[in-house]
Chain A
Amino acid sequence: AQTVTQSQPEMSVQEAETVTLSCTYDTSESDYYLFWYKQPPSRQMILVIRQEAYKQQNATENRFSVNFQKAAKSFSLKISDSQLGDAAMYFCAYRTRNTGNQFYFGTGTSLTVIP
């Protein structure tokens, strides 16, 4: 079964601080892609960052970076210099070559940013 686990239903961070959201996944495939999506309150879900499993280098997008540990099947998201606009629900997801277009999502982590 394809599963994605986000063990932190809720997290909070002080503005300007750094926070890490955890994600683990389970797949027997070797070729897959990992994603973090952000869903702000009452707004649509947008892609934050993505990682190809064959790439060893961790992806970075401005203040967002990932820690991809392939052997451990772990894909955490680090948000540096947190801003009020980072407050949202964050979903980890993956897609394998064999599942084609189907994505598998975790249950989400609700991030609160404290001013």
Chain B
Amino acid sequence: DVKVTQSSRYLVKRTGEKVFLECVQDMDHENMFWYRQDPGLGLRLIYFSYDVKMKEKGDIPEGYSVSREKKERFSLILESASTNQTSMYLCASSPLVTGGKNIQYFGAGTRLSVL
């Protein structure tokens, strides 16, 4: 089974802090994604990566950055956390295949509260 592991389930940080959210997958997937999930807004893509050291902006990249130094690990960075970044963050990965087998596998999520 594919396993996508997010390092923290719950995180509480203060405004202005630098925050790191870590995600590791064990299936050698090329693609990795960071989403933000808010009630009534569904999942919104922050950033994704299709290869080591490669990254692409999603729909809401402002206030975030990412790092992918190794294939299995994709980090989301909040350079200076703000209260409006309080949310659930989901990491996902997918293989580099075409067709219906290209599905996303999700981690359990990190619920971040910025005070």
- Chain A positions near chain B (C-beta within 8 angstroms): 4, 6, 9, 33, 35, 37, 43-47, 50, 52, 91, 95, 97, 100-103, 105-108
CB within 8 Å for A105 and B109 given contacts A35-B103, A52-B100: no
Q: Which residue of B lies closest to A108 (CB)?
A: B42
Q: By CB atoms of chain A within 10 A, which of B42, B45, B107 has the most?
A: B42
What is the number of residues of chain B that contact chain A, defined by CB distance less than 8 Å? 25
Q: Give the contacts of B39-72 with A (CB-CB under 8 A).
A: 40-43, 45, 48, 50, 58
Q: Which residue of A lies closest to B107 (CB)?
A: A44
A4 to B58, CA, bound (A): 16
Q: How far apart are B58's CB and chain A's nearest CB, in angstroms?
A: 8
Contact A102 B40 (CB under 8 A): no
Determine chain A's interface SS by DSSP, over half rule: loop
Contact B90 A101 (CB under 8 A): no
B102 — which chain A residues lie within 8 A by C-beta? 33, 95, 101
CB within 8 Å for A52 and B48 given contacts A101-B31, A105-B43: no
Contact A47 B103 (CB under 8 A): yes
